[in-house]
Structure 1
Amino acid sequence: MFKKFCLALASTLLAWGLGLEISQAQTIKIGILSNPSAINLKNKAYASYQFDRALAHKVFPNDQIKFYPRTQAQSLLTDLKKQKLDLVMGLEAQSDLQNSPSYLNPGNVLFTRHDSKYKSLAKLTIKQKKVALLASGNQGPLLKQLGLKTKRYPSVAAIETALAQKQVAAAVITDYQYQSYLSQKPTLIAAKDVNNRIETDQIWVRIAEPQITAQQLVFTSYHQLQLQKQIKTKLAQLKKQGQLTELSEKYYHQDWSYR
């Protein structure tokens, strides 16, 4: 009788322990910027989508995570404030929301064509010229804060066409995307014939603008202080262990975790 009682007690305690362990796990809904069509095609060019997923699993290793990709930052922030999402990744700090320490500081490139009349942020802003972004780009909120109008395109090749056709006056993509595209299109770096106006006009020219080229990405939340504490602690550990650097180099081929 005593043995049966002990076995029953042990079973109860074990079940209670397992229940407690399960209850401690949580399902976290995270919104990320990406292009849904690229995800469906498993297009590995969309490094931000892969990076965000990998980092989220390292920050919440014991939790179930559901990802909700969106092409527009505003859509993510709207769902966050409606509490349809617990967190948003891939945006800069929002003044009216809770923000984690930055986990990534991607280099952006603001550029235009050699024949453009708008080779400064001031001219782009004053003349209210449109700036091109990729559909999956996360620079939209940053450009909006600077008073710039934006138009999104599905690829860097589409941005090149838009610049040539004067649909936009300039463009912003990441440094990695910029360098990768130019490696395939050397004619955008230098003209084969310097006396050929068409060849010299199409050359891409960088516009120096620290407010755009230096970006800091964070986890953003709305009334989730406990999650933010957990994120802050885990990010510090990952940075100290060099895992942020490893992820950055794996998906972006350079270290953007240095700050």
Structure 2
Amino acid sequence: MSVILGIDIGGSGIKGAPVDTRTGQLVAERHRIPTPAGARPEDVQEVVAELVRHFGQEEKGPIGVTFPGIVLHGKTLSAANVDDSWIGLDADALFTEATGRDVFLVNDADAAGVAEVRFGAGRDVPGLVMVLTFGTGIGSALLHSGVLVPNTELGHLWLKGDKHAESWASDRARERDDLNWKGWAKRASTYLRHVEALFSPDLFIIGGGLSKKADKWQEHVKLARTPLVPAALQNEAGIVGAALLAAERSRSGR
């Protein structure tokens, strides 16, 4: 089956669409539902089921679902921007029960990274590609020659005193501190130069909601040597990556 439903759970919205995994294209208009207040598992479970019903795919194929935190063997091990009851939860089983379908859960930034390297700004780029998503938090994906190293969680690097990076340089931090784009880019540059020094990537790809506004901040981001580009798939990368990974894992039986 080449068309797989991808669902992307975010801090402010949960969105989904069926994806042609051969091309990376959405085959129906994306549908978005606001993330329930508190983002408790039972509430998010119902939104995921509602998205499945919306696309009329109750009895078809696997589903790929992203999660904004560490995902290991179907369990969610962190909960930076959602309810703490996600920690240690078998979320694969939760969503499988809600949808009656095989669900494959993946970290949201990892999904975006896979999509960008397969079909977006990182396509045909050799070496180490880092995808960083700036939104409610900062997500990270690390891919070497197209191979994903999962759950890097580089948004939680300690950067400014007792604060980790996403509390200081995310898009939510920009809004909270009423920063203009140049002011936010100065913070982002500090963070990106730190990551650059640690990993020496061949390319930075900036995703999340900010990827749609690259004309406002890109010229103000200053790095030592690494090229930086906005995500080509923009805010659809998580949906596409979730579907791609679900298709691959379904075929391999993992």
- In terms of fraction of residues, the more strand-rich structure is 2
- Of the two, which has the highest radius of gyration? 1
Give the TM-score taking structure 1 as reference length.
Answer: 0.33
Q: Tell which has more relative contact order, 1 or 2 (C-alpha 8 A, sep 6+).
A: 1
Give the TM-score taking structure 2 as reference length.
Answer: 0.33
